[in-house]
Structure formats: C-alpha cells, structure tokens
Amino acid sequence: MIIAIDFVFLPDYYFTQSYTQLMNALGRHILVEFYNCSPELMNDVVHIENSMVAAAETAGATVINSTFHHFSPYGVSGVVVIQESHLAIHTWPEFGYAAVDLFTCGDSVDPWVSYNYLKDAFEASHGSAMECRRGQLDLLKRNDFNLESLRDVSPQPQEKLGTITRDVWFTERDENIALSLKHTGNQLYKKDSPYQRVEVYETLAYGNLLTLDGMVMCTQKDEYVYHEMITHVPMFSNPKAKRALVIGGGDGGTVRELLRYEQLEEVTLVEIDELVIEACKLHLPETAVAFDNPRLNLLVEDGIKYIKECADERYDLIIVDSADPVGPGEGLFTAEFYQEVYRCLTKDGIMITQSESPRFNSAVFVEIYDTYKQIFGAEKVHCYLAAIPTYPTGTWSFSYSSKGEAHPLTFDVNGAAAFSKAQGLKYYNEDIHMAAFALPNFVKELLNAKPGQVTNEYSAEPTA
Ligand code: SAM
C-alpha cells in the first residue's frame, strides 16, 4: 500500500516500494483525490474527457474507447478504457473535487504520469493518492487451461488504426425530461458573452449543434423545420408584406428563409449577441448563409430596446425568434414587449413567435397565449405545430397573431406548392401549412385555459 499526499507546500511526495516488488503484481491501482480544482472544469464534460484521454496517451497507454456523461445539475462521470486497463473519474464541481482511478497493468505505462497530467489539467491545488498493487502474484494460482478456447474468433469490425471510439454525450436536461446527443468529443466553439454561454458541438447524428447556456438552439440536420415554419406560414398568408423584422434569430436561419422573397424591401435582424452570429458563421454556415446578403439590415442590439424605439406601424411582419424565457430572452415573453410589437405592426401586420412546446412546459404556453389574446383579440391568435426532433418533447409550437384581417389558412395554396418545390424546401409545403393548424385536443384545451389553471396532466415539466 503506497500513500502519497501533497503536503501544504504541495510538492508531490510519496513513499514507494521497489518497482519489482510493486510489479510482483498484475496491476497498479492509484486512487486519487484532487482538491481545489476549478469548479468550472469539474463540470466541463468535454474538457474532462479530452484530459483523461490525453493523460492516458501521455503515460504511454493505448486508448480503446471512452464513455463520459454529464450529470444534472452538475458533475461528470466517465471512463477511458485502455489496453492496459482503465482510467475513471467522478467529479463534484460544488466541492472542486475529483475522485480518479488510475489502473494500469504491465510495465509500459506509468500511471503517475497521468496523475501529474490530470492535476494540471484540472487546476488542482493539491492531491492525495494511494497506490495499491492489484493481483499480487504470490497470492494467485495460475489455472492451466486452453487459452485458445477462450479466444473470441468472431469477426471484429475493422477499426481504423489509432481510432478510439469516444462515447461523449451532450445532455440538455430539464426537471423531468432530457435530450442527449452523442458528439465527437471535440468542442468546436465555446465562449461566454455578456449574455450567455455560446457553444457548438460536433454531434454524430445531427451535425453541428448550437447551444446557449446548455440549451439546444439548432442543429444542422433539423434547423430547417423551425426556420421554414416560422417564415413561410406568415409570408404566404400575407403576400403583400414589404418590411419584415426578426428579433433574436442570431443563427441566421429565419432571415435566410425571408430573403427568398424578392418582394421584401427590408429585412431587419436584431440580435443581442454577436457571438451567436460568429459561432454560426464559423460552424453552421448553411444557417448563417444570409448574413452577407446586401438586403439584410443586421443590428447587434437588444430587441426590447429596439422595439421600444421603433416607429409605429413600421413592419408588415415581426418574427420573435427568441430562445426560451430565460436570460436575455426573458423580456421577449412579456405583455409590455408584445404590446410594443403590436404598435409597430402595420394595420394588416402579423406577429409570429416561437411559443415553446405545449407538452414541455404547459404553464408558459398557456400564459403567453393568454397574453397574445389580450393584445390582439382571441379570434386573431392562432397556434401551429411542427415536429423538431432535437427540441424538448420533439413537438414545438408557433403563434400567429394578426393585427388586421390576415388569417393563416387564407393563403395561396398553389403558390405555396410551387414555391416549396422551386426553393427545394425540406419541410414546408401547402399541405403541412394547413396541417400544422390542426391541433390535438389537449392543445386546444390549453389554448382555452387561463394562466394558473393548468394541471400537471399535460406538462412534462412541473407547472407550479
Ligand atoms: N430556435 C431557437 C429556439 O427556439 O430556442 C432560437 C434561436 S435564436 C438562436 C435565439 C436568439 O435570441 C439567440 O441568439 C439570443 O442571443 C437572441 N436573444 C435573446 N434575447 C434577445 C434580446 N433581448 N434581443 C435580441 N436577441 C435576443
């Protein structure tokens, strides 16, 4: 048994038996405690996974695969399987503490190299470690049996030399519901803006994924659903629209769709966070493609301030392409804000908002529709749905509120069919335009409910 403790002056210091005595065993197992680590890093699954894989490789180990999971609200667990056994970790960010297991067999790998690598990687002020010999040979009796009979002869998938299967998952977790997406372990973008954390992951199933404060905003593989439905439904039921305003929408998908309409004389995008635009230009280029369009009036400012200072009746269409009602976007879900939107719409203007999921958080859904109705009039407010796989519950809603006589189902059906075909749209067409307004009974019930009336019956998340 070897005990190593970083003393107050923090030099690594430990007693050890001779190497051969040590190696009179099948393996070396170092149980490590790292203290005063950066809580930030202790909650960063990508950093931890990358560090553990690098710590193994630096010590000369051959990495087979890695599996890491991010817990809610915080904490990471994971294991790196190496040819010479494994490295494992569990973190408590709230204590700045990590419990690490370094287990190696054979003499080609020195686990203390991994120890030092991780101590630096986790910015630990000090650590303590205990080394145990596992499988002491003088206590083991070798059974002579035909090893060949154990050999697994089934054909193994040809893995590219040097490739390791890394099993790293991004998880957006709410109270009772979560979505996990496997990614390559490489974080393409991670910056903190004054408003939020902006991150891009390289997922295996959905391409690059944009998250804000850990919430899914859009992925390359399904963003078109959201962006086509939030634009083409209002544009085809308001063909005379000349001026459109988008508040939020910093990924660029909504203005990409709007700029397909030559008749639009002005398309203004007001996004509060320039880092969102930067991240999407770099890693979601198909979504950000319209940022260089000369017809786009791109403003980086707070949409709440912009709408307050905007002239009356300036826009035919105002799309509120916000994130969830938290952080900088909270103010985009208030009656004051919607009242201002109403003022800035022309007589026949339309307001479209992403209105959350009736299933995910019914209470918010009921509240915002109640507010729309108070401002636009109950008969002028409509809800439509779309299936977005990477959004919580997969069912998302949009609100359609008209200041004038525009009605979502009064639209040029043939025009929509031809446009969808000509533009190569992947979700929107004349049938889905109509079908999206065919609502299930529970949604109709929620739309007629008053705030506070909602039971937990429909909501995936707690309503109270
Ligand atoms: N499709 C996404 C969803 O449903 O969650 C939303 C996409 S878009 C990325 C949301 C954008 O709204 C973000 O880029 C965020 O920075 C922006 N935003 C939040 N609050 C804002 C505000 N007050 N003014 C302008 N933009 C804002």
State in Å: Cα 261 to ligand 1 middle. Answer: 23
Q: pLDDT tier at 2 (50, 70, 90 boundaries)?
A: very low
Q: By C-alpha distance, which of 78, 322, 44, 71 is closest to 199?
A: 44
Least confident of 19-28, 232-241, 279-288, 401-410: 19-28
Q: Which residues contact ligand 1 via a Cβ below 6 A?
A: 212, 217-218, 226, 247-251, 270-273, 276, 302-304, 321-323, 328-329, 331-332, 354
Amino acid residing at 463: T
Residues with a known catalytic role: 321
Check whether 360 has a pLDDT greater than 90: no
As a whole-number percent, the residues of the chain with pLDDT over 70 amount to 87
Rounded to whole angstroms, how far apart are CA atoms 338 and 332? 8
> Which residue's CA lies nearest to atom 4 of ligand 1?
323
Least confident of 157-171, 260-274, 360-374: 157-171
> Which residue's CA lies nearest to atom 20 of ligand 1?
329
Which pLDDT value is given to residue 1? 45
Q: Of 103-112, 150-159, 209-218, where does the model show the most confidence?
A: 209-218
Least confident of 18-32, 294-308, 432-446: 18-32
Mutating to test ligand 1, I would choose from 272, 280, 291, 356 the residue with most ligand atoms within 8 A of its C-beta, which is: 272
Task: Tell me what the mean pLDDT of segment 66-82 comes to.
Answer: 85
Q: pLDDT tier at 464 (50, 70, 90 boundaries)?
A: low
Task: Tell me what the mean pLDDT of segment 26-55 comes to.
Answer: 92
Amino acid residing at 461: E
State in Å: Cα 307 to ligand 1 middle. Answer: 15
Specify the ligand 1 atom closest to the Cα of 273: 16
Check whether 174 has a pLDDT greater than 90: no
Rounded to whole angstroms, how far apart are CA atoms 75 and 91? 5
Which pLDDT value is given to residue 162? 54
C-alpha distance from residue 249 to each of 272, 281, 294 (Å): 9, 13, 18
State in Å: Cα 12 to ligand 1 middle. Answer: 48
Which pLDDT value is given to residue 9? 47
Task: Give the tokens for residue 75.
Answer: 């904490």
Task: Tell me what the mean pLDDT of segment 248-266 comes to.
Answer: 97
pLDDT digits (tens, 9 = 90+) for 21-34: 555 788 899 999 99
> Which residue's CA lies nearest to atom 8 of ligand 1?
249
Task: Give the tokens for residue 429.
Answer: 């067409």
- The pTM of this model reads 0.78
Which pLDDT value is given to residue 158? 52
State in Å: Cα 146 to ligand 1 middle. Answer: 64
Which pLDDT value is given to residue 234? 98
